[in-house]
Structure 1
Amino acid sequence: MAAHTPTHSEEAALSLTMAVVASSPGPLLLLDGDLNIVAASASFSDAFDLDLAEAPGRPLSSLGAGEWNRPQLRALLKATASGAAKIEAFEMDLERPGRDVRRLVVHAQRLVYLDMENLRLLMAVTDLTDTRADERLKDDALRQNLVLLQEVRHRVANSLQIIASVLLQNAKRTRSDETRSHLKDAHHRVMSVAALERQLAETGNGPVQLLTYFTNLCDSIAASMIADPGQLSLSVTGAGGVVDPRTSVSLGLIVTELVINALKHAFPDDRGGKIVVDCEFRGANWTLSVADDGVGMPNNPAHIRMGLGSSIVQALAAQLEATVDVAPARPGTRVSIIHTAIALVADRDDAVGGAAAALGQPAA
Structure 2
Amino acid sequence: MSTTPTVHFEAASTLAVVVSSHEPLLFLSDDLKIIAASASFCRAFDIDPTSVPGKKLGELGQGEWAMPKLESLLKATASRSADIQAYEIDLKRPNRATRQLVVNAQTLDDGDVEHIRLLVAVTDVTDARAEARLKDDLARDKAILLQEVQHRVANSLQIIASVLMQSARRVQSEEARGHLHNAHHRVMSIAALQRQLSTSPGGSVELRTYLKQLCQSLGASMIADPSRLSIHVSADDSAVEADVSVSLGLIVTELVINALKHAFPDERTGTVMIDYRSSGRDWTLAVADNGIGMAAGRDAPKAGLGTGIVEALVKNLDGEITLSDAGPGTMVTIGHQESAGFQANLSPFVYAR
What TM-score do you get using the length of structure 1 for normalisation? 0.87
Structure 2 counterparts to residues 13-52 of structure 1, below 5 A: 13-52=10-49
Partner of 2:189: 192
**2:13 aligned with 1:8, yes or no?**
no
1:10–1:116 Cα contact (<8 Å) kept: no
From 109, 133, 137, give the equivalent of 1:140. Answer: 137
Partners of 1:237 and 1:315 lie apart in 2 by 24
Give the distance between the partners of 2:243 and 2:331, measured in 1 at CA. 25
* Partner Cα separation in structure 1 for residue 142 and residue 337 of structure 2: 34
- The two structures, once aligned, show a CA RMSD in angstroms of 2.0
**1:332 is aligned to 2:332:** no
Structure 1 pair 221/69, CA: closer, same or farther in 2 (3 Å)? Answer: farther
Of 110, 114, 118, the residue aligned with 1:113 is 110
Residue in 2 aligned with 1:167?
Answer: 164
Mean alpha-carbon deviation: is it higher for 222-231 or for 287-296? 222-231
Whether the 8 Å contact between 2:204 and 2:242 is mirrored in structure 1 is: yes
SS in 1 for 2:283: strand
Which 4+ residue blocks in structure 1 deviate beyond 3 angstroms? Answer: none
The Cα shift of 1:114 comes to 4.4
Q: Which moved more, 1:287-296 or 1:226-235?
A: 226-235
Deviations 1:196-216 (A, max 9, x none): 112212215333222222222
Name stretches of at least 5 consecutive residues in structure 1 with no aligned partner: 344-364
Q: Per the alignment, in what secondary structure is the counterpart of residue 240 of structure 1? A: coil
Shift of 1:21: 0.8
Match of 2:52 among 44, 48, 55: 55
User: Contact (CA 8 Å) 1:205, 1:245: kept in 2 or not?
Assistant: no
Q: Deviations over 1:67-108 (max 9, x none)?
A: 222233223222322223332211222222211121111111
Amino acid in structure 1 at the alignment position of 2:21: S
Q: For 2:30 and 2:233, how far apart are their aligned partners in 1?
A: 70
Q: 1:236 to 1:17 in 2, by over 3 A?
A: same
Find the aligned partners of 2:302 and 2:82 in 1 and give their Cα distance: 77
The one-letter amino acid of 1:50's match is: I
After TM superposition, the structure 1 stretch with the greater mean CA deviation from structure 2, 224-233 or 308-317, is 224-233
Specify whether residues 168 and 216 from structure 1 end up closer, same or farther in structure 2 by C-alpha distance, changes over 3 A only.
Answer: closer
In structure 2, runs of 5+ residues without a counterpart are: 341-353
CA distance in 1, matches of 2:267, 2:94: 81
**Which residue of the partner structure matches residue 182 of structure 1?**
179
Q: 1:72 and 1:256, CA in 2 relative to 1: closer, same or farther beyond 3 A?
A: farther
1:241 aligns with 2:206: no
List aligned pairs for 1:280-319, cutoff 5 A.
280-300=277-297, 303-319=300-316
Q: TM-score scaled by structure 2?
A: 0.89
Q: Deviation of residue 299 (structure 1)?
A: 2.8
